[in-house]
Structure 1
Amino acid sequence: MKRFSRLLGALTVTTVAAVTVPGTAVATAGAPLLSDQIRRNCTQSTESTGLTCSFDVPPGAYDVRVTLGSRTAAANTGLEVEANRTVLAPVTTRAGHTAARSVTVDVRTPESMPDGQEGDGTAGLQLKLTGSAPALTDLRVTPRPHAPRLFVVSDSTASDWLNTVQRGWAQELPQYFGPGLAVANWAAAGSSTVSWLQNPALFEALKPRIHRGDTVLIQLAHNDKTTAEDTYRANLLSLLDGVRSRGGRPVLVTPPVRHLYDANGKITDTGRIVNSLGVDLPAVMRDVAQQQDVPLLDLTADSTALMEQLGPDASWQLYAELPAGRSQTHFNTSGATTVAGLVAREIARAHLPAARSLNAPQKTDER
C-alpha cells in the first residue's frame, strides 16, 4: 500500500487478511453486552491471527468498542466483522499500553451478499482480530438501532465476499469511518440496473430499510453490457426515485475501470465501461446526476488516473488472483482498500453527510 500513499493522502490505510470463525454467545436486543464477553464469546484461533468472537444478536446496527494491546508485549491489532469487512486497520501499541477504538457495524442475514449467493453465512455478529501481533484486552458490543447508514447498491466490484480471495471496495470502506455511521453493503455480484429493479431480494428488499437521512451510493454499470441507453437512464431514475421516496439521499458512483490497456498504456473504452452497444455508461451516469441535481462520485475518472499512472504491469497488484487466473475486474484486499480510499476521498470532496464521520478522531488510552 505504501506505493499508493501519494494518491490517497491521509486516507490511506494498511490492508489486512480475512477469515471469519464463529464462536457462541446469546444476547437480547437492546441490552449492552458486558466486557466479560471476551471470555464467554471469543475463542483462540488455531491460526496466527488470534481471537475470533461471535455474538448471537438480531440484525441491526451495533457499536463495537475494543481496547487493543497487551500489558506485557507490543501488539499490532486490527478488526474485521461479518463477511470479512475491515472496520479497523491494525493499530500498533507498545508493551504495557492499550488503545481504545470504536466502530459502528451493520449486521444482517445473509451475512455477505443480500441475495444469498454465498448462503446465509453465520447469524449474529462475527468479529475477528487481524494484524501481525493481535491482542485484545476489552470488548463491548452495544445495540445502536437508530444509527445512520451509508448503503451501497452495486455489483461484484463492491461486494462483501465471504468465501473467496477477491474483495469489493465497499467491503473495505468501513475502515475509513469513525463510530456513529454504519456502512451497509448491499452490493450483489452479477447485478445490473435491470436486475436491481427486477430481483425482489435487491431494491424491493432494501427500500424499507432506508430511513430519512440515510445515504445510498449507487454504482451499477459493469453488468449492463447490453442495456440500451434509454433503458439505463430510466433504471437510474427509478433507483433515484425509490431512494428519495424513503427520505434517503441518493448518490451516483461511476464504476471502477477494468484492467484493459491499449498499446499506449491507456485504459480502453471497454475498460472504461463502454458497453457492447457503444453506450458510455459512466457518461450517462454523469449526465443523469447533473440533470437530477444528485451528487456524483466519479470513481471511473479516479480509477482511470490511478491505473494509468501505475501502468499495465504495476496495476496488477490491485487485482485478485483467482483459480481461473488473474481477474481484470475484481480486486484483492490491497486493491479494494485502495479503491475504497478513492471513494472516501470523493465523499469528502462532495461534502456528503457521511464525510463528517471520515477518519473521526479516536480516543487512545495509555495504561
Structure 2
Amino acid sequence: MKKLLTGILLAGVVTIGFLAAHAQTKTDTAFPEKFDFGSEKTPAGYIAVTPKTVYSKENGLGIASNFTVHAIKRDKKNNLTSDFLTSEHPFYFNVNIPEGRYRITVTLGDPKGTSETTVKAENRRLMLEDIKTDKKQIVTKSFIVDVRSPKINDEEKIRLKKRELAYLNWDKKLTLEFGGPRPCVSSLEIEAVNDLPVIFLAGNSTVVDQMYEPWASWGQMFPRFLKPDVVVANYAESGETLKAFRGEKRLKKILSVMKPGDYLFMEFAHNDQKPGSSHVEPFTTYQDQLRYFMNETRKRGGHPVLVTSTNRRVFDDNGKIVNTLEEYPEAMRQLAKEENVPLIDLNAMSKELFEALGPENSKKAFVHYPAHTYPGQDKPLADNTHFNPYGAYELAKCVVESIKENYPQLAKYVSDDFKGYDPNHPDSYENFFWPVSPAVELIKPDGN
C-alpha cells in the first residue's frame, strides 16, 4: 500500500504568467536562477514563489503540498529576507530543469522567530540536516544535487523497472523537500556546476535512494556529510546484481556522463550470491564482473572504489553477526589489494555496528515496526536486510569515516562538521532526528 506524494501532482493557477513551459530548453548559460519565497515585493532578478505558485508540468515551477503553506511577512526593509514560506508539514518546491549538476543555495530563518529546517532532494536524499536559527538569525546554506534522466543517447536509455517510473530521481524536474519542526525558506538560487567531480554510486537496495518511508539506504544519507564541492550521483537500485546493472544499461549511462577524475563506488553481493541467471561465484565471475566495472571506469579517467556489502541482521547465540554473505566480502578485499583499488570495508564496519547495538537494539536500525505504525499497516514490519533512516545514517557515517581515515584525495570533500565515527559506539537512536516524508510504502524493496 502506498501513500503517494499526491501534492506533487497538484495543478493550480500560477501568479506569474510567463512561467509556462519553464526550463524546457534551458542551458547552463540560463543559470543562475533566483527565487524569492514569500508574498512581499520581489527584488529585481528574482522569480516570486508564493503559496499560490502551485506546480504543474505546464507551469514549470512551484509549490506542491497536501497541506497549507503559509507566507509570513515581517516589517523589514530587505525584501528578500523579510518574508518567507513555512508549513506545519513538509512541502515541496519543484522546477523543470535539464539533466545536470546544480549548486542549490537556500536562505533560511525568521527575522522575528526561530526556525528548524531539514532539506531533502529528489528521492529523499538528505542534503541539509536540522538547520536551526535563533531570532533575527538568517543563514545561507549550499548543497549539490544531481538531476538526471534515463536517456543515454538518441537510441538508448536505462531500462527502468516499473516502480522506478514514479521515482523523483528520473523525472524532468528538480524536487526539494523542506521539512522539520518549522521550516522557514526565504530564497533559493540554482546554479549549474557541471565541472565538479562526481562520486557515482552503483549498488542495490542497501545503497539506492529509497523513495518511500520507512526505508532508507546509506547512499541517500551520504551527501549530507560532504562539502558542496563534489556531486553524489546515486544510480543504485533495489534488487540489482552486477550483471543486471550492466544489462539494464545503468553502467553505460554512468560511463556516458563520467569525466576524468570522477569516482565510481561499487557495492554488490546480496543479490549476486543468489541462484539464477545473475549468479556469480565469489573468486571467479564476481571478481570478473567487478574488473569490468573498474576497467571501464579507468578508460574514462575515473577512479574505481570498492565497497564491501553491509551485513544482514542475523545473530548467533553469542550475540555475534553471522556472515550470510559467505566469501563475497573477502573476494572483494582480495581484488582491491590485487588491483590496488581503494576499499571501504563496510561489511566489517557494519558487523561492529550491529554487534555494538546488540540483537534487540539493532532492530532500531532496520525496518522493524509494530503494526499500525504507518497508515494501512495492519501487520508488523520485520526486515533484517533493509535499513530505516537511523540505520542508513549510521552506515553512511561508516563510509565517511573510512574515506576520512584512508583516502586523502576524497577526504578533502568531507564536511567540516563531521567529527569522526566509531561503529563500536553508535549514535543514540533516541537522539536521532528525521522529519518523516509524506510518501509511505509497506511492501519491502527488491532484494534480501
Q: Normalising to structure 2: TM-score of the pair?
A: 0.70
**Equivalent position of 2:191 in the other structure:** 142
- Correspondence list, 1:259-278, <5 A: 259-270=313-324, 273-274=325-326
Moved more, 115-124 or 291-300: 115-124
- CA-atom RMSD in angstroms: 2.3
Further displaced range: 21-30 or 342-351: 21-30
Q: In the alignment, which of 285, 300, 307 is matched to residue 246 of structure 1?
A: 300
Letter in 2 for 1:245: K
Match of 2:335 among 281, 288, 301: 288
1:110 deviates by 5.3
Structure 2 distance, partners of 1:70, 1:245, is 50
- The equivalent residue for 1:319 is 366
1:56 and 2:101 matched: no
The answer as to 2:65 corresponding to 1:45 is yes
2: CA distance, partners of 1:295 / 1:189: 24
Can you list the C-alpha shifts for 1:4-29, whole angstroms capped at 9, x where unaligned? xxxxxxxxxxxxxx979547862322
Tell whether the 8 Å contact from 1:167 to 1:331 is kept in structure 2 after alignment. yes
Number of residue pairs matched? 335
Amino acid of the structure 2 residue aligned with 1:43? I
Structure 1, gaps ≥5 residues long: 1-17, 275-279, 362-367
Counterpart residue number, 2:35: 35
2:413 aligned residue (353, 357, 366): 357
Q: Does 1:234 find its partner at 2:282?
A: no
Q: Does 1:98 align with 2:146?
A: no
Q: CA deviation at 1:42?
A: 4.0
Contact kept, 8 Å, 1:21 with 1:128, in 2: the verdict is no
More divergent stretch after superposition (182-191 vs 315-324):
315-324
Q: Residues 81-114 of structure 1, C-alpha deviation per residue, up to 9 Å, x if partnerless?
A: 1111111111110122111100111001259xx6
> Alpha carbons of 1:109 and 1:345: their partners in 2 closer, same or farther (altered >3 Å)?
same
Secondary structure (helix, strand or coil) at the match of 1:335 reads helix
User: What is the CA distance between 1:221 and its match in structure 2?
Assistant: 0.8
Q: Which digits, 9 at most, give the CA deviation of each residue in 1:52-100, with x for residues without a partner?
A: 1111101110000011111121010111111111111111101221111
Task: Pick the aligned partner of 2:211 from 146, 152, 162.
Answer: 162
Deviation at 1:35, TM superposition (A): 3.0
Output aligned runs, 1:293-304, within 5 Å. 293-304=340-351
Structure 1 residues 164-173 or 301-310, which shifts more?
164-173
Match of 2:445?
none
Partner residue, 1:204: 252
Displacement of 1:143: 1.1
| CA distance in structure 2 between the partners assigned to 1:189 and 1:250 by the alignment | 21
Measured in 1, the distance between the counterparts of 2:241 and 2:186 equals 44
TM-score (norm 1): 0.85
Query: Which structure: greater helix fraction?
Result: 1
CA distance in 1, matches of 2:355, 2:313: 10
SS at structure 2 position matched to 1:239: helix
Taking the aligned partners of 2:5 and 2:410, their CA distance within structure 1 comes to 28
Contact 1:190 1:223 in 2 (8 A): yes
| Secondary structure in structure 1 of the residue aligned to 2:271 | coil
Q: Distance in 1 between matches of 2:201 and 2:97?
A: 23
Q: CA deviation at 1:242?
A: 1.2
Percent identical:
29
- Asked if structure 2 preserves the Cα contact closer than 8 Å seen for 1:157 and 1:330, the reply is yes
- Unaligned 5+ segments in structure 2 are 37-46, 54-60, 68-87, 152-157, 275-279, 370-376, 418-448
Greater relative contact order: 1 or 2 (C-alpha under 8 angstroms, separation 6 or more)? Answer: 1
Q: Is residue 78–residue 129 contact of structure 1 (8 Å, CA) maintained in 2?
A: yes
Partner residue in 2 for 1:341? 397
Q: Give the conservation status (yes or no) of the 8 Å contact 1:110–1:120.
A: no
- Greater shift, 43-52 or 334-343, is seen at 43-52
1:52 and 1:166 map into 2 onto residues whose CA distance is 20
